Structure 1
Amino acid sequence: MKSVLFFFSLYFVNFSSQEICNYPPSEWCATQEIARACQVENQCLEFYARVSNKKFSDPAVQVELYYESLCGGCRNFIVTQLFPTWLMLNNIMNVTLVPYGNAMEKNNSGKWEFECQHGPEECVGNMMEACLMYYLGNLDDYFLVIFCMESSNNVTMALDACLSIYEPSLSSKKVVECVNSDLGNKLMHQNALRTEALNPPHKYVPWIVINGKHSDDLQSRAQSALFNLICETYTGPKPDACSQKKEEIPSKSDLLCLN
């Protein structure tokens, strides 16, 4: 999965404070928090990336995330739960990202116009990420760029730097052209239809769907410790990584952007 590991440790600091390592080496990879405190995140993630190449025959856990690019709770979930869990458990989970969230659309003379919860810049961010998915196609490629953007100080302004690191073959100019074109308009309308078709209808974002189902309990567990939820939900023999449960972080209402 490329050299994602260095960038993960670099940007994770935006959401966490630096800590001191008071753990023996045998425990350094036990949790993300310990790995970060002991400054061995890269090595631990490399280890999990290697063991994740093992193939598993049972159906992967399906994780759908309905979100918006500038919602603080969405960004927190992507950076602190979804992306690190996917790095370690990508062999038993499939991730679908749908950037749209609490936006609204209307048809004006055959062209869709969008109004986003956090203003026009969020509409641009949503569409940038939809265009990245369209051009790159593979989650292994576009999730790295989206994680990079969502973990930066300015989501939309980070596009060029994130592409230059992870997907230099795709220019930011081409993505911006997509945003301002009929293609970007079409992609965002498709995301609007997918979001509006949710059952039950979404009440906030991040809205998390596990194996086609959403409930308050699943949402709370996903936001508290997605890693544990994926390991528990997977029906086949568990990967080695699942032997280490992660510390649960109580979910908070301020990590939701209400519809």
Structure 2
Amino acid sequence: MATVGFLALPSWDSELVSPLQGRQQQQRRGPRAETWQETLRRISGDSLPYHSRIYKISKYQLDCARRLLSVLNWLPVYIRTMEKLAPARCAFLLILALVVLPSVQGVEKVKVELYSEALCPYCADFIINYLNPFFNNGLIDIVELRIIPYGNARVLDGSLICQHGPDECELNIIQTCAIRLWPKVTDWFPFIYCLETLDRRTAAKNWKSCVHPSRLDLEPLIECSATPLGAKLEMEFAAETDRLQPPHKYVPWVLVNGEPLMDNYEDVASYVCKAYQGNKPAVCSRLEHETIKTQPAGLCVREYVSQASY
């Protein structure tokens, strides 16, 4: 089985400085933004701390933690105040605190996961006509969206074999690199959307035309996708896809809060509205009166089941 290696990157320093000079310059400049070379090193695992690789903390979870700490800050004052009050009033304030504290954590977003593959016309249709509207109708504000571009590919003797040939494998890796290099969905989704609008016959040759309109950088995408790092990241998505329970039968394969929508994947917006527990966007009111579809426009069916090793 072929071995997937790590990417060796050159230093980004333009000159050598002493540690003291480096700290002084850093203090004057303020926090330094992460360079794309550092991002590549981080996602390859070379410099990512062990605990960070295991525990992936979302922005929502971090915000909840900050709010909880703000509550804990006034808790000692609250306890001292309770000691001076009558028991009945203490009981009332305690009940009030128990009611308020959970509301501090906010409402959890709905998790939407799309297992897809490049050059599948039905995946392209779903991304263009069903996911892209999320960014215009407000649903993206209540959704945690992931796309896993591997689909019906398989791993044979350490090599990727894709349903639509080598061009699909190349485009899957390019999408994977974009998702890992720019973790914010508002950064990588326009790029993937653009890729899906290209002519499938020439998409593998013309993918670079989507970089500038999406406001991404071409150099890190090439550095990732054309080196073993891209294959390594795609293998991780391959392993995740093959762990699905129940196993996917086709793409697009859509999950909402971990539950597969099966043939109802085109009604993803309705399922999101039903799953969300907070104040819903206006589009949800309209979707309540629409009939759920029972037959999708089409599917790229999984043609084989393989025993893969990564």
The TM-score with structure 1 as length reference comes to 0.69
Q: Distance in 2 between matches of 1:166 and 1:90?
A: 18
Measured on the aligned residues, the alpha-carbon RMSD in Å equals 2.2
* SS of match in other structure, 1:166: coil
Q: What does residue 213 of structure 1 align with?
A: 259
The structure whose Rg is larger is: 2
Could you report, residue by residue, the CA deviation over 1:213-232 in whole angstroms, capped at 9, with x for unpaired residues? 12xxx233331x32222112
| Number of residues of Structure 1 aligned to a counterpart in Structure 2 | 194
One-letter amino acid of the structure 1 residue matched with residue 198 of structure 2: S
- The answer to whether 1:65 aligns with 2:114 is yes
Could you report, residue by residue, the CA deviation over 1:3-59 in whole angstroms, capped at 9, with x for unpaired residues? xxxxxxxxxxxxxxxxxxxxxxxxxxxxxxxxxxxxxxxxxxxxxxxxxxxxx9311
Structure 2 counterpart of 1:236, from 262, 278, 293: 278
| Residue 116 of structure 1, CA deviation | 0.1
* SS of match in other structure, 2:259: coil
Q: What does residue 165 of structure 1 align with?
A: 213
Residues 141, 158 of structure 1: alpha-carbon distance in 2 compared, 3 angstrom cutoff: farther
Could you report, residue by residue, the CA deviation over 1:115-162 in whole angstroms, capped at 9, with x for unpaired residues? 000111000110010011122221110001101111222433442221
- The answer to whether 1:131 aligns with 2:177 is yes
* Percent identity for Structure 1 against Structure 2: 34
Q: What does residue 179 of structure 1 align with?
A: 225
Q: Distance in 2 between matches of 1:92 and 1:253?
A: 24
User: Unmatched 5+ residue regions in structure 2?
Assistant: 1-104, 303-310
The question of whether the paired residues in 2 share the 8 Å contact of 1:63 and 1:95 is answered with: yes
User: Unmatched 5+ residue regions in structure 1?
Assistant: 1-55
Q: What does residue 256 of structure 1 align with?
A: 299
Deviates more, 1:176-185 or 1:202-211: 176-185
| Residue 178 of structure 1, CA deviation | 2.0
| Residue 174 of structure 1, CA deviation | 3.5
Moved over 6 A (4+): none
Q: What does residue 46 of structure 1 align with?
A: none
| Residue 247 of structure 1, CA deviation | 5.5
* SS of match in other structure, 2:213: helix
* SS of match in other structure, 2:164: coil
The question of whether the paired residues in 2 share the 8 Å contact of 1:149 and 1:156 is answered with: no
Alignment of 1:1-259 (within 5 A): 57-88=106-137, 89-107=139-157, 112-154=158-200, 155-168=203-216, 170-171=217-218, 173-214=219-260, 218-223=261-266, 225-245=267-287, 250=293, 252=295, 255-259=298-302
| Residue 99 of structure 1, CA deviation | 0.4
* SS of match in other structure, 1:239: coil
Q: Distance in 2 between matches of 1:143 and 1:187?
A: 18
* SS of match in other structure, 1:183: helix
One-letter amino acid of the structure 2 residue matched with residue 199 of structure 1: Q
Q: Distance in 2 between matches of 1:104 and 1:167?
A: 32
Could you report, residue by residue, the CA deviation over 1:73-116 in whole angstroms, capped at 9, with x for unpaired residues? 11111111112124421111111110000101134xxxx31000
